[in-house]
Amino acid sequence: MRKIILSVLGILLIVGAVLIANAIIASNTRVRPAPKKVVKTVFVDTVQNRTVPIVIKANGNLIAKRRLELYSEVQGILKPGQKLFKAGETFRQGQTILRLDASEFYASVQSQKSALLSQLTAIMPDLRLDYPEAYPKWQNYLDQFDMKKTLADLPDMTSEKEKYFISGRNILTAYYNIKNLEQRLGKYSIRAPFTGILTEALVTEGTLVRSGQKLGEFIDLGVYELQVAVNKEYGNLLEVGKQVRLNNMNKTKQYEGKVTRINGNVDLSSQTIDAFIEIRDEALREGMYLEALLNAREEENAISVDRSLLQSGNKLFVVKDSILDLQEVNPIFFSEKEVVLKGMPDGSLMVSKMVPGAYAGMLVKIYTDRPDSENTMAEESNKKTN
């Protein structure tokens, strides 16, 4: 009986110990709070369709529209002029840029003129007897003959007999030989065909210049061309005469120009079309790098957004009842940083800044200018995600 009582007491003691232990463990268990759901804040813009100008951006280097490469057609020593033949010198239209020593050739021309004068003097007695009606005009030509001036045109020969008589005395041959020599004499000096500046000088005073030798380059100041390459897809948007806005690469200065020429061929390697823009500004210099903004056309009922916002090439995130959704759009024109598109309904709340990890159906909160605790927590969550 005693053993039975002890066994029962032992069992009761063990059960009591287990119950007490469970009670102690249960009293130390903390209730975990339900995790708070973080709602990301998004920036949105209210869509308002409008007329968006399609602007094609291109860039290139300025080149002078009127450029003259100076070559010598004769041989001689370069003589000093009123201005030095140096790069940077400006010359007015008609002013002598350079002059070669032509004293020897000039003497040869004068010798030929003297011979012609002698021939004319010799035929005058025969003209007076055989062709009295032609004598006065030839006598007048002889009286006006000036060795220091360019040879004047011969008198008109009104009859065949007169022409045969003059030709038979080699007057015509001598006359045209002298005219040819005078033309060549004029090549010993080069005059400015327009007002401009010497950009390159390859010879100096006193050096021997040979026939066919390049002497330098001369360009017109104030009139330049910008050659730009435009993607062939936009070739139909280019028009001759269209006004173009230009600016330097720092965007500190702006200029105006117009399209003057469009190449009819597409470059095989780059698949681009060359367009030439004329700019008139004396502050410009050849070789300057400019960016051109060509106003191609205007697209109605469209918007312009950052290219990074475009999803899958034709979708944008919008907010509907605090839920992200994808809206299909129709891209019209892509620039370097933006895209012009259509198909976005007016009044839509379009996401204006990328949201990391965004997906359709995501719960979001629209950012407002009035900060509150929830906005602050959402902003901190966005920063941590980034």
CATH number at residue 353: 2.40.420
Domain extent for 322: 41-48+310-385
Asked if the model's pLDDT at residue 318 lies above 80, the reply is yes
Predicted confidence (pLDDT) per residue in 336-370, tens digit? 788 999 999 999 999 999 888 888 888 988 888 65
Alpha-carbon span 138 to 157, nearest angstrom:
10
Asked if the model's pLDDT at residue 100 lies above 90, the reply is yes
pLDDT (0 to 100) of residue 356: 87
Tell me if 113 is assigned to some domain.
Answer: yes
Where do the DSSP E strands lie in 119-271?
Answer: 189-191, 196-201, 208-209, 214-220, 223-231, 243-248, 254-262
Tell me if 5 is assigned to some domain.
Answer: yes
Contact call for residues 256 and 244 (beta carbons, < 8 A): yes
pLDDT band (50, 70, 90) for residue 330:
very high
Tell me if 128 is assigned to some domain.
Answer: yes
Burial (CB < 10 A; 0-12, 13-18, 19+), residue 81, is middle
User: Averaged over 111-116, what is the pLDDT?
Assistant: 94
Percent of the chain at pLDDT > 90 equals 52
pLDDT (0 to 100) of residue 379: 47
Tell me if 282 is assigned to some domain.
Answer: no
Overall pTM > 0.85: no
User: Averaged over 214-219, what is the pLDDT?
Assistant: 96
Split into its structural domains, the chain has a count of 3
pLDDT band (50, 70, 90) for residue 277:
very high
For the chain, the average pLDDT equals: 86
pLDDT (0 to 100) of residue 359: 87
| DSSP code per residue over 80-114 | P-SS---TT-EE-TT-EEEEE--HHHHHHHHHHHH
For the chain, how many residues are written? 386
Tell me if 246 is assigned to some domain.
Answer: no
Predicted confidence (pLDDT) per residue in 180-211, tens digit? 999 999 999 999 999 999 999 999 999 999 99
pLDDT band (50, 70, 90) for residue 283:
confident
Q: Where a domain ends, among 186, 206, 235?
A: 186
Tell me if 153 is assigned to some domain.
Answer: yes
Q: Where a domain ends, among 167, 186, 205?
A: 186
pLDDT (0 to 100) of residue 249: 84
Predicted confidence (pLDDT) per residue in 217-274, tens digit? 999 988 999 999 888 877 777 788 888 899 988 888 999 999 999 998 888 888 889 9
pLDDT (0 to 100) of residue 295: 79
Q: Where a domain ends, among 186, 210, 230?
A: 186
Predicted confidence (pLDDT) per residue in 4-53, tens digit? 776 766 777 776 777 777 777 766 555 566 556 678 888 999 999 999 98
Alpha-carbon span 44 to 217, nearest angstrom:
58
Percent of the chain at pLDDT > 70 equals 90
